[in-house]
Amino acid sequence: MIRCLLLLFLLAHPVVAQDIPILNSEKPEVANASAGILRALDKLTGQVTDLTLGVDEKVTFGRIGITLLECRYPTANPSGDAFVHIMVDEIGKDQPVFGGWVIASSPALYAMDHARYDVWALRCITS
């Protein structure tokens, strides 16, 4: 009985929300680069290749074609991170196997899910 009353008291008592200030609500300044460096892995053979691509350039790696659509980097720390928008096509498939942003500092965040190949961003070329 006492437990029920205690439970009712706790449920009836208003919950006070904590006031947590937003530390940095400003979006970081980013700039577009004219080229970027990606790393591609063939999981079957173990071949790892660094690919330097210009914006809108397509390169073939094994049975996939990788197109760099955009490469962005923070202006405050150009070598700190890269945000790369890529499109990956596979020979014999009508639809792209991957299309989206990959982040150099978090390669698993938006990873390409392919049985044989893996592609991730390394950095933007800023000079």
pLDDT in tens, 29-41: 899 999 999 999 9
- With residues binned 3-state (H G I as helix, E B as strand, rest as coil), the percentages for the chain, rounded to 5, are 10, 45, 45
Total Cβ atoms within 10 A of residue 83: 20
Instruction: Give the per-residue pLDDT at 84.
Output: 94
Instruction: Give the per-residue pLDDT at 112.
Output: 80
Q: Are 95 and 88 in contact (CB under 8 A)?
A: no
pTM of model > 0.95: no
79-104 pLDDT, tens per residue?
778 999 999 999 999 999 999 999 88
Provide the pLDDT confidence category of residue 76 given band limits of 50, 70 and 90: confident
32-73 pLDDT, tens per residue?
999 999 999 999 999 999 999 999 999 999 999 999 999 999
